[in-house]
Amino acid sequence: MKKRKLSGYFAVQSMIFTTLIVMFFVVGIIVYYSMLYAETREHITKIGELNAETSAEQIDKYLSSGVDVLRMTGYTLDNMIRNGNSQEEILAYLENQSIAVSNITSGNSPGFYGCINNGYLDGTGWVPETDYAPLERPWYVEAKANIGRVSVVGPYVDSRTHRNIITLSKTLCDVKSVIAMDFSMDQLQKIAEDLTAHGKSYAEIVLNREYKVLAHSDKSEIGKCYFTEPGSFGNALIDELRSTDENYFFLRYEGADYIVYTTTVANDWFCVSVIDATSSLRRLKRPLIFIFAAALTILAVQLVIIIRSNKNTQIAKQLSDDLSEAENAISEKDSRIGEISKLAFKDALTGVGSKSAFNRLTAELAEKHKTSHTPTAVVMLDVNVLKNVNDTFGHDAGDKYLCGCCGLICEIFRYSPVFRIGGDEFVAVLRNADFSDREKLLQKLRDACDESYSHTDRMPWERYSIAAGMSDWLPDEPDIEQALLRADKAMYDSKRSFKERHKELKSISR
């Protein structure tokens, strides 16, 4: 019982212990994978960053070539202005520089023009319309606004060449003069497309300060302003770009993961490299998800085992309860059986030993007699006139009569077992003191009966009369049977003499 309870307790304990170990390992694995994930993410990011830097460098280099040429020309013009050179001299210089720059940039720029000392000068040979107002042109306004720095205007389509161009412009030393040059975006666009075509990135974008697309690996995006395109990828991109100070960020758009790198190029433009990290990150996420799933499964299994072990414990408890109940029932049955056996060896009416009890005793005595002989006498007793009482006064009176007689017998043979072996037959087995006094006791019984029967004033069932015959169990007899026969014979003699003394009884009974 206790053992069973203890084993259940240990099962739960070991289950908790196992769970803890499993969880420890699961946590360990998760931590390891998290670190691995972070590291790999970092690795992907770094590689992307390197690519983005390379892209930005290429774009910056291209734009810088224009900016540098413009600055150099501006430097000379500053000196010419300070030296007080004439407009013709300045124009001649611009024309020379234009030829040079057109060659250096492989035709990406036709050359210089500007508004110098309040006059428009064009080194490219273009003659403006009479109503051309240079001070109102974006290249002039932007240069003035940008206070000494090279401003980038555009992009727009050049009306003469139909090329997608930008204009670089810058104020000169007197702050009021501005020098400018047009610069083709074709090269920039080619760089963006090449970078994407070589599989290094998902998209390469060059945005100006207004988040207008100057160059894009996808040509159809050029000219779009991402500020005014809510819901678009570009809009999501600049939303994130505006809110971060980092040079890269993760962007989730329509279920895909992107890493976006931004570098400022030229005059506050953004060079944006977008890497589609969906597959690489997902590949990383998969084992992590698997580990989580495995951990959950293990935990679930553990839980089920715990619940089931709990249920088993309950069942075991139930069983043990049932068993103890059964045991109780059995012991109860045993005691009842004892009771029954007791009843079986006892005469129900008189309470003395039954015929079975007598048989058992005689058997025991016979067994004992094999080794030693204890002096023993048997007294056969027969209740007289029982039939008369029964017939005349009913069985209740008969029973009373029988019990009264039995009581008398027991009183006389006080230290000896008395058995009822038939309807009106009793036997007493005398040993020890009662054996020694056997003759006296038999006489005492006869006297008592005579005395009782002589009370004619009593009710017939209160007038006890018992015929008795006694015999000793002789040492050479193996059992008590012979003694019983002799006692029985003696008892009949006694009975006959009683009947002869009371001949009137026959007539009564009839």
Partner 1 sequence: MIKTWLKRLITVTAAAVLMMALAGCGGSGGSEEDKSLQKVLSAKQLVLGLDVNYPPMGYTDENGEIVGFDIDVAQEVCDRLGITLVKQPIDWDAKEEELNSGRIDCIWNGMSVSPEREEAMCISKPYLRNELVLVVASGSDIRSKQDIKGKKIGVQSGSTTQEVLEGSELSTENEVLTYDDNIGLMQGLRQGELDVTFIDSVNAYYYISMSDDRFFVLPESLGDEVFAVGFRKNDKALCEKVQETISEMRADGTLKNISAKWFGSDITIVK
Sites of contact with partner 1 (CB under 8 A)? 9, 12, 16, 19-20, 23, 26-27, 30-31, 34, 74-75, 78-79, 81-82, 138, 141-142, 144-149, 151, 171, 173-176, 209-210, 227, 241-242, 268, 306, 310
Residue 12 beta carbon to partner 1: minimum distance, rounded to whole angstroms: 6
Closer by beta carbon to partner 1, 149 or else 308: 149
Closest to partner 1 by CB, 27 vs 349, is 27
Give min distance, CB of 82 to partner 1, in A. Answer: 6
As a whole number of angstroms, the distance between CA 182 and CA 163 comes to 10
Measured CA to CA, the distance from residue 202 to residue 428 in angstroms comes to 121
Helix (H) / strand (E) element for 266: namely none
Minimum CB distance to partner 1, residue 227 (Å): 7
377 with 482: CB under 8 angstroms?
no
Nearer to partner 1 (CB atom), residue 3 or residue 198: 3
Min dist CB 78 to partner 1, Å, is 6
State the helix-helix crossing angle for 2-83 and 186-197, rounded to 10 degrees: 160
∠ CA 373-374-380 to the nearest 5 degrees? 110
Complex with partner 1: residue 56 or 241, whichever CB lies closer? 241
Beta bridge partners of residue 203, listed in sequence order: 274
Give the nearest distance from C-beta 114 to partner 1 in angstroms.
Answer: 16
Residue length of the chain: 510
Q: C-alpha dihedral over 105, 106, 109, 111, to 10 degrees?
A: 80
Closest separation in Å from C-beta 285 to partner 1: 15
Query: Least distance from C-beta 149 to partner 1, angstroms?
Result: 7
Q: Contact at 8 Å (CB) between 381 and 426? A: yes
Which one, 20 or 340, has the nearer CB to partner 1?
A: 20
Identity of the residue, 232 or 310, whose beta carbon is nearer to partner 1 in the bound complex: 310
The Cα–Cα gap between 170 and 144 comes to 7
- Spatial neighbors of 372 by CB under 8 A, at least 6 apart, are none
Check: CB of residue 377 under 8 Å from CB of residue 470.
Answer: yes
Contact residues for 153 (Cβ-Cβ < 8 A; gap 6+): 138, 139, 142, 166, 167, 168, 169
Closest CA to 173 of 88, 91, 84: 84
Counting runs of H as helices and runs of E as strands, what totals does the chain give?
Answer: 13, 14
Comparison of 218 and 229: residue with beta carbon closer to partner 1: 229
| C-beta of 12 vs 100, nearer to partner 1 | 12
Q: How far is the CB of 75 from partner 1 (least distance, A)?
A: 6
CB of 175 to partner 1, least distance (A): 4
168 closest CA partner among 61, 64, 93: 64
Task: Please say whether the beta carbons of 259 and 248 come within 8 A.
Answer: yes
* Residue number with CB closer to partner 1 (221 or 240): 240
